[in-house]
């Protein structure tokens, strides 16, 4: 009996040794697969997370850019900013700011000299110069172009978008929209991904400054030992922190491309790695239990097998003794092995069921990995694959056979050979046609190393990135179309402005027709009378030399008057190029305009009162365009007076106030100012904000084009001046302010 038990014990030990060897072998393979898969998953997770953070920053900047585009196209915003009307601009902008301030926390207007004009988020603070303390403001102001990115200012760090504002070609200043780059930004990232995020800034002393975080303190301070790499712009990621699952450090730059800090991500959970870890723990537990179970079953099985043999031996001895004694009868008890054999069968069935459960677990690992997954050995034979891979593999198990068909596997041989040679993970992207439809895939090959650090198997993972590629293509096409549309819109706007100016000039020429006819008719009548007198005296032979000289001189004077009128109208009609600029006196322009309109005004019984400063300095610009502004304003004043007189006549007023237009010029600081005041009908309050809009008119159909004041506004704006209209108790007052000529900037030209 002792010998049988020792044999059972030896067999049991052998079985245990085999189990341990198999356990170690499978554990090594599983750990290798876990590490390789974890590395790939981690790399993919951190790359995707890095792109997501950059996209989140771009999304914040895009929100601000879209808001600025909306404000730049609002003529009321531009006009109020141009007129430096802070209170009205604040009231007009306040509803918009209240709608967007949860994301765009600041809207800030800056003047061309760098002074703060209006902070929507702090309207009481203005007038401070930001050029010395805000590099983005200084850069955008110098270049007069858009700039965006991260900036560290005196009140903290933030995302900033700054755009120049132009109105009718004049640079008004800058418009800035800013977003918070701190806790709120990180909280949005955490709600999206579930990780903890922190922002650190590089200090001038080569230390770190904690800016914000979703937790009060980070759990894994890994940045200090990687500070030099981070300052060079290198991403850092690791799994060597006990407090969290993984850590990533992503350096970021300011608007100028300088690395100023980094975003730290602490990941508590990576689904694929967690799933593999749980499966590994379950494998260790099941393997340990299975080893114990097999050991016990082996020992008991051997006992069950040896037990009937012992019974047989025992009964044989009894039977031998009986035979020796001459007794040939059977023993009273005969061994029946049915019960013992059934137990062995049941034990084997339990082992089979356990092994089946383990195969289900391993299959779950394979199917749980996203995308296509298959396992290849050194002979390029596919050992196993998940269901997604079988759609492309079919019944084939040879990579050579699949590569011969092309398509998805056309580069597979060279790809796998490179991994076997380099012993590190490789990735590449490629697109294929499947059933006439293009698909794009990202291929990853992860080597499985043996004890000698050579590759003996490869895990192949492929991920469908068709949607990502389509999105990138659509975004590129959208940007190209947007640029073309912007260029086309700019050209259309320039053409519309040119046509509008031409229409306004033609309308002004029509207004001058009556006055020009009178100015020409009067000297022609004088010439006719002079010639008649000469003819009469010549007939009577009473003409003298002095009389003849005086008459010829008078006739020449009238001819010169006609020539001057015609030349002036021709010059006014022809105008000059938009870039034509000379030094001129606004008094001369007033007198020229009255030469053309004076007769019309007098025939309408409108008195013109002049209060012109004879010592007023010259201004720079296009004198013909300035004269056109005066003609437009005088025509509007004439029409307003006529409308008042008609209204009073309809009300049977027998003693109406005569029409009067008062024109004054004077200098105030560095501006030459002209005012035109009439006692006409005035401007209704509801029209005050629209009088400078193109094609807006209150005149009857066929009498006005609606372009006069709009063109006048554009002309004065190009001269860096302002034009304002307001209603007075007596009528309307127009004020035009233009800077005094600075000869050092623009030399005087002659026409």
The pLDDT tens digits of the residues spanning 727-742 come to 888 889 999 999 998 7
Task: Tell me which of 159, 180, 201 is where a domain ends.
Answer: 180
Q: How crowded is residue 672: how many other Cβ atoms within 10 Å of its Cβ? A: 23
Contact 262, 196 (CB under 8 A): no
Residues 143 and 225 reside in one and the same domain: no
Tell me which of 148-162, 164-178, 291-305, 718-732 is least confident.
291-305
Query: For residue 388, what pLDDT is reported?
Result: 82
Residues 158 and 196 in one domain: no
Tokens 């109105």, residue? 167
- Average pLDDT score over residue span 216-232: 78
What pLDDT is attached to residue 355?
Answer: 46
Higher-scoring residue by pLDDT: 172, 364: 172
pLDDT in tens, 370-410: 788 888 998 889 887 888 888 788 888 888 888 887 778 88
pLDDT grade, residue 344 (50/70/90)?
Answer: very low
Instruction: Tell me the torsion sign for CA atoms 640, 642, 645, 650.
Output: negative
Query: Is 704 domain-assigned?
Result: yes
Asked if 165 and 192 sit in the same domain, the reply is no
Question: Are residues 599 and 724 part of one domain?
Answer: yes
| 599 & 627 share domain | yes
Q: What is the per-residue pLDDT for 678?
A: 92
Asked if the structure places residue 618 within a domain, the reply is: yes
- State whether residue 91 is helix, strand or coil: helix
Q: pLDDT: is 301 or 246 the higher one?
A: 246
What are residue 264's DSSP bridge partners? Answer: 198, 249
Beta-carbon count within 10 A of 576 CB:
15
Does residue 337 have a pLDDT over 80?
no
Does one domain contain both 602 and 670?
yes
| Percentage of the chain modeled with pLDDT above 90 | 21
**Is 746 within the bounds of a domain?**
no
Residue 670 DSSP class: T
Candidates 422, 391, 426, 423; CA nearest to 412 is 426
In sequence order, what DSSP letters do the residues of 610-623 get, joined into one string? EE--TTPPPEEE-H
167: helix, strand or coil? strand
If asked whether residues 634 and 539 sit together in one domain, one would say: yes
CA nearest neighbour of 736 among 720, 724, 746, 748:
724
Gap between the Cα atoms of 446 and 32, Å rounded = 10
Give the DSSP letter of residue 677: E
Helix (H) or strand (E) holding 676: strand 671-678
- CA dist 131 and 514 (Å) reads 55
d(CA 136, CA 142): 10
| Planar angle of CA 731, 735, 740, nearest 5 degrees | 160
Task: Please name the residues in contact with 645: beta carbons below 8 A apart, sequence gap of 6 or more.
Answer: 656, 659
Q: Which of 242, 270, 298 is the last residue of a domain?
A: 270
181-192 in b/e form (b: 16+ CB < 10 A) is beeebbeebeee
The predicted pLDDT at position 236 comes to 84
Measured between alpha carbons, how far is residue 171 from residues 164, 335, 422, 487 in Å?
7, 113, 60, 19
Domain, as residue range, for 593: 488-739
**Is the residue at 127 inside a domain?**
yes
End-to-end alpha carbon distance in the chain: 135
Token reading at 433: 């046609």
* Among 298, 291, 373, 306, residue whose Cα is nearest residue 337: 306
Whole-number pLDDT of residue 82 = 92
Take residue 66 and report the two structure tokens written for it.
């879209």
pLDDT at residue 567 in the model: 59
Q: What is the DSSP letter of 115?
A: B
Residues 168 and 189 in one domain: no
Sheet holding 236-238, edge to edge: 208-213, 196-202, 259-267, 246-253, 236-238
- How far is residue 416's CA from residue 376's CA, in Å, rounded to a whole number? 9
Asked if residue 118 is part of any domain, the answer here is yes
pLDDT of residue 492: 73
Task: For residue 618, give the DSSP letter.
Answer: P
What does residue 218 show for φ and ψ, rounded to 5 degrees?
A: -75, 155
The Cα-based distances of 640 to 597, 633, 657, 708 in angstroms read: 15, 10, 13, 14
In the three-class reduction of DSSP (H, G, I as helix; E, B as strand; rest coil), residue 462 is classed as: strand
pLDDT at 317: 57
Bridge partners of 441? Answer: 430, 464
Phi, psi (rounded to 5 degrees) for 33: -65, -40
Nearest-angstrom CA–CA distance, 293 and 16: 10
CATH number at residue 215: 3.30.450.40
453 lies in some domain? no
CB of 423 within 8 A of CB of 449?
yes
For residue 429, the Cα-to-chain-centroid distance in whole angstroms is 27
Question: For residues 690 and 683, is the Cβ–Cβ distance under 8 A?
Answer: no
Please classify residue 514 by burial: count the beta carbons closer than 10 Å to its beta carbon, then call 0-12 exposed, 13-18 middle and 19+ buried.
middle
Looking at 220, 248, 270, the residue that finishes a domain is 270
Q: How many domains does the chain have?
A: 3
Residue 3 has pLDDT above 50, yes or no: no
Q: Is the pLDDT of residue 171 over 90?
A: yes
Phi, psi for residue 205 in degrees, rounded to 5: -95, 20
Report residue 398: phi and psi, to 5°: -105, 125
State yes or no: pLDDT of 427 exceeds 80.
Answer: yes
The CATH number covering residue 68 comes to 3.30.450.20
Q: Report whether pLDDT(335) > 50.
A: no
Q: State how far Cα 607 lies from the chain centre.
A: 59
Question: What pLDDT shows up at residue 441?
Answer: 87
On whether the CB atoms of residues 512 and 597 are closer than 8 A, the answer is: yes
Max CA separation in the chain (angstroms): 202
Q: How confident is the model at residue 579 (pLDDT cuts 50, 70, 90)?
A: low
> Is the pTM here over 0.85, yes or no?
no
- What is the full DSSP assignment across 305-365? HHHHHHHHHHHHHHHHHHHHHT--SPPSS---THHHHHHHHHHHHHHHHHHHHHHHHHHHH
Q: Cα torsion at 301, 306, 308, 311 (round to 10°)?
A: -150
- Of 518 and 566, which is predicted with more confidence? 566
Note whether 574 and 506 are within 8 A (CB).
no
**Looking at the predicted structure, is the pLDDT value of residue 325 above 50?**
no
- In this predicted model, which residue has the larger pLDDT, 548 or 619? 619
Question: Are 500 and 619 in a shared domain?
Answer: yes
For residue 582, give the CATH number of its domain: 3.30.565.10
Burial of 636 by CB count in 10 Å (0-12 exposed, 13-18 middle, 19+ buried)? buried
- Say how far apart CA 50 and CA 303 lie, in whole Å: 63
441 assigned to some structural domain: no
Interatomic CA distance for residues 368 and 361, integer angstroms: 10
As given in the structure block, the two tokens for residue 298 are 């082996």
**Is 199 within 8 Å of 261 (Cβ atoms)?**
yes
Question: In the structure encoding, which two tokens stand for residue 465, read together?
Answer: 């990135």
- Which pLDDT tens digit goes with each residue over 638-682? 888 988 888 888 887 877 888 999 999 999 989 999 999 999 888
Higher per-residue confidence, 134 vs 282: 134
Query: How many C-beta atoms lie closer than 10 Å to residue 500's C-beta?
Result: 18
Percent of the chain with pLDDT over 70: 74
Instruction: Tell me the pLDDT tens digit for each residue of 522-542.
Output: 677 668 877 877 777 788 887
Average pLDDT, the chain: 78
Helices (H), 129-209: 135-143, 183-193
**395, 397, 401, 407: CA torsion to nearest 10:** 70
Q: Give me 667's structure tokens.
A: 């200098």
87 or 488: which carries more pLDDT confidence? 87
Give yes or no: residues 550 and 679 share one domain.
Answer: yes
Q: How confident is the model at residue 199 (pLDDT cuts 50, 70, 90)?
A: very high
Asked if 586 and 627 sit in the same domain, the reply is: yes
Judge whether 477 lies within some domain: no
Q: What is the predicted pLDDT for the residue at 273? A: 61
- What is the per-residue pLDDT for 610? 93
User: Quick one: 189 and 122 in the same domain?
Assistant: no
- In what helix (H) or strand (E) does residue 507 lie, and over which residues does it extend? helix 466-540
Assess whether pLDDT exceeds 80 at residue 61. yes
Tell me what pLDDT residue 339 has: 47
Q: What angle do CA 650, 656, 658 make, to 5 degrees?
A: 125
Task: Name the residue with tokens 């499966």.
Answer: 279
509 confidence band (pLDDT: 50, 70, 90): low
**Over the stretch 356-368, which tens digit does the pLDDT of each residue have?**
555 566 666 666 6
In the three-class reduction of DSSP (H, G, I as helix; E, B as strand; rest coil), residue 266 is classed as strand
Contact 382, 397 (CB under 8 A): yes
3-state per-residue secondary structure call for 410-421 = CCHHHHHHHHHH
């Amino acid at each position: 009996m002792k010998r049988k038990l020792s044999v059972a014990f030896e067999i049991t030990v052998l079985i245990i040794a085999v189990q341990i060897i198999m356990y170690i072998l499978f554990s090594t393979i599983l750990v290798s697969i876990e590490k390789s898969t974890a590395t790939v998953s981690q790399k993919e997770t951190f790359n995707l997370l890095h792109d997501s953070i950059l996209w989140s920053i771009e999304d914040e900047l895009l929100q601000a850019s879209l808001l600025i585009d909306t404000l730049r196209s609002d003529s009321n915003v531009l006009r109020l900013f141009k007129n430096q009307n802070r209170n009205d601009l604040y009231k007009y902008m306040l509803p918009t700011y209240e709608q967007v301030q949860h994301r765009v926390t600041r809207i800030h207007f800056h003047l061309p000299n760098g002074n703060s004009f209006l902070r929507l988020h702090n309207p009481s603070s203005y007038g401070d110069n930001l050029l010395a303390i805000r590099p983005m403001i200084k850069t955008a102001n110098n270049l007069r172009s858009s700039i965006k990115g991260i900036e560290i200012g005196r009140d903290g760090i933030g995302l900033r978008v700054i755009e120049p504002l132009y109105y009718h070609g004049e640079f008004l200043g800058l418009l800035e929209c800013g977003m918070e780059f701190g806790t709120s930004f990180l909280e949005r990232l955490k709600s999206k991904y579930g990780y903890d995020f922190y922002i650190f800034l590089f200090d001038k002393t080569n230390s770190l400054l904690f800016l914000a975080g979703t937790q009060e303190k980070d759990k894994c301070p890994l940045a200090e030992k990687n500070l030099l790499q981070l300052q060079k712009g290198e991403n850092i990621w690791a799994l060597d922190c006990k407090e969290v699952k993984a850590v990533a450090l992503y350096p970021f730059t300011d608007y100028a491309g300088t690395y100023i800090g980094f975003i730290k991500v602490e990941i508590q959970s990576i689904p694929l790695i967690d799933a593999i870890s749980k499966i590994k723990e379950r494998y260790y537990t099941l393997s340990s239990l299975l080893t114990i179970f097999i050991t016990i079953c082996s020992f008991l099985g051997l006992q069950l097998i040896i037990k009937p043999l012992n019974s047989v031996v025992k009964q044989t001895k009894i039977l031998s003794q009986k035979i020796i004694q001459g007794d040939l009868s059977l023993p009273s008890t005969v061994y029946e092995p049915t019960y013992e054999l059934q137990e062995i069968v049941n034990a084997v069935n339990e082992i089979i069921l356990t092994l089946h459960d383990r195969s289900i677990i391993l299959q779950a690992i394979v199917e749980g990995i996203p995308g296509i997954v298959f396992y290849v050995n050194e002979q390029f034979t596919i050992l196993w694959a998940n269901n997604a891979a079988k759609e492309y593999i079919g019944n084939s198990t040879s990579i050579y056979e699949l590569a011969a068909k092309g398509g998805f596997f056309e580069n597979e041989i060279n790809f796998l050979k490179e991994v076997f040679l380099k012993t590190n993970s490789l990735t590449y992207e490629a697109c294929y046609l499947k059933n006439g439809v293009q698909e794009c895939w990202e291929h990853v090959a992860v080597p499985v190393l043996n004890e000698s650090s050579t590759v003996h198997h490869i895990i192949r993972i492929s991920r469908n990135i068709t949607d990502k590629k389509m999105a990138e293509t659509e975004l590129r096409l959208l940007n190209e179309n947007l640029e073309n549309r912007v260029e086309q819109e700019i050209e259309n706007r320039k053409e519309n402005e040119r046509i509008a100016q031409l229409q306004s000039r033609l309308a002004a020429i029509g207004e001058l027709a009556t006055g020009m006819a009178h100015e020409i008719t009067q000297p022609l009548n004088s010439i006719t009378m002079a010639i008649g007198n000469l003819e009469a005296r010549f007939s009577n032979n009473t003409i003298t030399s002095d009389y003849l000289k005086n008459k010829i001189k008078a006739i020449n004077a009238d001819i010169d008057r006609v020539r001057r009128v015609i030349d002036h109208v021709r010059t006014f009609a022809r105008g000059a190029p938009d870039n034509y600029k000379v030094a001129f006196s606004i008094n001369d322009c007033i007198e020229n305009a009255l030469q053309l309109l004076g007769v019309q005004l007098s025939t309408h019984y409108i008195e013109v009162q002049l209060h012109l400063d004879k010592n007023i300095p010259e201004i720079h610009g296009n004198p013909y365009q300035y004269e056109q502004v005066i003609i437009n304003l005088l025509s509007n004043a004439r029409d307003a007076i006529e409308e008042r007189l008609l209204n009073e006549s309809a009300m049977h007023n027998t003693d109406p106030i005569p029409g009067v237009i008062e024109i004054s010029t004077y200098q105030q600081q560095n501006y030459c100012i002209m005012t035109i005041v009439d006692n006409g009908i005035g401007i209704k309050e509801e029209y005050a904000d629209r009088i400078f809009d193109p094609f807006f008119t209150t005149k009857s159909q066929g009498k006005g084009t609606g372009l006069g004041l709009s063109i006048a506004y554009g002309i004065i704006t190009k001269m860096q001046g302002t034009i304002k209209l307001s209603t007075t108790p007596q009528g309307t007052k127009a004020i035009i302010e233009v800077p005094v000529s600075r000869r050092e900037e623009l030399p005087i030209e002659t026409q």
